[in-house]
Structure 1
Amino acid sequence: MPHLVLWDIDHTLIDTRGVGHELSAAAFEEATGQPMRQQAKIDGITEAVIFRETAKLHGLNTDRADFERFAAALTAQHIHHATELRERGHALPGAAAALQALAAANVRQTVVTGNVRGVAEIKLGIFGLDTHIQWEGGAYGDDADLRPALVELALSRSSAAAVDVALIGDTPADVEGGIAAGVRVIAVATGRSSIEELRTAGANSVIQDLTDVDALVKYVTAGSM
């Protein structure tokens, strides 16, 4: 059976080392006219929800048009600060090798991410991780609010009805989104969640990071371990 991987991005493939937060703050102020004094929870959450909940913390009620202004500003900020993102951020250990090894094993790869699509493309492109990503089959933070809906959308866009699918992510929200959509989840403890927390969330497999490429390919192509 053909295989498909749905990759999360932040803290799974890359780490922006704080640049992402700074660019979000700049985009928030551009979209709302108010400085971002604090930010809502971000781990595993889509940009649409982060923006809405952050706006509430500032006493603002926002609509889709407000979010679209924010998304456009955020994409522009990433384009403008691409050099800074490249210098301060980094691809996580094993990420490039994992993408290459899965491609060599004829595994299709796309993304399910809370990032808006423009930002997702910039982030992976900056760190040279975009070569094997089938962008049209992915789902993004400007498509839906919740992870399960994003996974379902990616499955539809990737025509994955007769495909063995594995989602790879670093948060309990990634795990829950995959389970709700009926796909296997390989969790990596490269973010703020521990191996035990990811196991408790229900991941089919949990690994410390992406450096053991052979094991990752085995998990993806041989099913749940």
Structure 2
Amino acid sequence: MNRLVLWNVDLTLVDVTIVAREAYAAAFRMVTGRPLVKLAPAMGRPDSEIIFETLAINGIVVDDHHLPRFIDALAVAFGDRHKRLAKEGRAMPGAKDALKAVSRLDGVVQSVLTGTIKSNAVHKLAAFGLDKWIDFEVGGYGEEVYPKATLLQVAQGRAKAKHGHAFAVGNTVLVGDSTRDVQAARIGGAAMIAVASGRSTAAELQEAGADIVLPDLSNASEVVAAVARLTSSATTGRRAG
């Protein structure tokens, strides 16, 4: 394995916003004993960051125990609702075909770099049959309290430990929908395919420094060509221009 493709989950591969909001509300009540009044906006941030801000804006004095308790409660609340994901959510256009097509590239391993905690990321992708192409062991997840750029490097390290090959900017691609994803790729050491399927516009993604910007994932051949171009050094010894 000498190519690493890391996928953002929410609004890149799936949209399960309704169920996710309900799970947050249930987890908040479990941890605090109070109803959730306001949920902090996601904006491409990890669950750990959203949890801290949600507690603060709802008047909770945050203690050391809050984050692990909230993460556990969020996993339970989301797991209790996982059967509703396929009915009330959706796979993003082209996601399944894109994952399947990229999996056929020589030497590729696909995982996720997501703000979602690991158990919930698995639920989200499994609900739409997208999990079969993902190696969850080498991903980066929302319960890990790192900036996303650092989490990208953690995922590269996990991939190296498992597959025995070093992963860096010339053979790692992040696929995501937010300017935060673009920033993480640029700082963490990966090429960036940005898809304008989330809340960031194509112009914003281009301005942030994405290598390639696509409207969505609906053209699987275009996605594969982009990954192949950006990881050409994995097979030729040089980075694509």
Q: Name the TM tier (shorter chain).
A: over 0.9
Equivalent pair of 1:148/1:176 in contact (CA under 8 Å): yes
CA deviation after TM superposition for structure 1 residue 17, in Å: 4.1
CA apart distance, 1:178: 0.8
Q: Find the aligned partners of 1:182 and 1:17 in 2 and give their Cα distance.
A: 29
2:10 aligned with 1:5:
no
DSSP-derived class of the 1:158 partner: helix
RMSD over aligned Cα atoms? 1.5
Amino acid at match of 1:218: A
Aligned to 2:133: 132
In structure 2, what residue type is equivalent to 1:91? Answer: A
Q: Secondary structure at the match of 2:186?
A: helix
Report if the CA contact (8 A) 2:153-2:189 is conserved.
no
The structure with the largest alpha-carbon Rg is 2
Q: Which amino acid aligns with 1:173?
A: R
Letter in 2 for 1:72: D
Q: How many residues align?
A: 225
The residue number in structure 1 matching 2:99 is: 99
Aligned to 2:148: 147
Give the 3 Å change call, closer, same or farther, for CA 21–168 of structure 1 in structure 2.
same
For 2:65, what is the secondary structure of its paired residue?
helix
Q: Which residue of 2 aligns with 1:65?
A: 65
TM-score, with length taken from structure 2:
0.89
Letter of the aligned partner of 2:145 in structure 1? A
Q: Distance in 2 between matches of 1:68 and 1:202?
A: 34
What stretches of structure 1 of length at least 5 have no aligned partner? Answer: none
C-alpha separation between the residues in 1 aligned to 2:89 and 2:64?
30
Whole-angstrom CA distance in 2 between matches of 1:19 and 1:192: 19
Instruction: State the shift of 1:64 in Å.
Output: 4.3
Which TM-score applies when normalising by structure 1? 0.95
Cα separation, partners in 2 of 1:216 and 1:64, compared to 1, 3 Å: farther
2:187 corresponds to 1:186: no
Unaligned runs of 5+ in 2: 231-239
Identity %: 36
CA distance in 1 between counterparts of 2:178 and 2:130 reads 20
Letter in 1 for 2:116: N
Give, in whole Å, the separation in 2 of the partners of 1:132 and 1:29. Answer: 35
Deviation at 1:60, TM superposition (A): 1.6
Distance 1:154 1:64, change over 3 A: farther
Deviation at 1:174, TM superposition (A): 0.6
Give the match's secondary structure for 1:18. helix
Q: Shift of residue 26 of structure 1?
A: 1.1
Structure 1 runs (4+) greater than 6 angstroms displaced: none
Q: Secondary structure at the match of 1:108?
A: strand
**Residues 52 and 61 in structure 1, CA contact (< 8 A), matched pair in contact too:** no
The amino acid that maps onto 1:139 is G
Residue 204 of structure 2 corresponds to 197
Task: Give the corresponding residue for 1:26.
Answer: 26
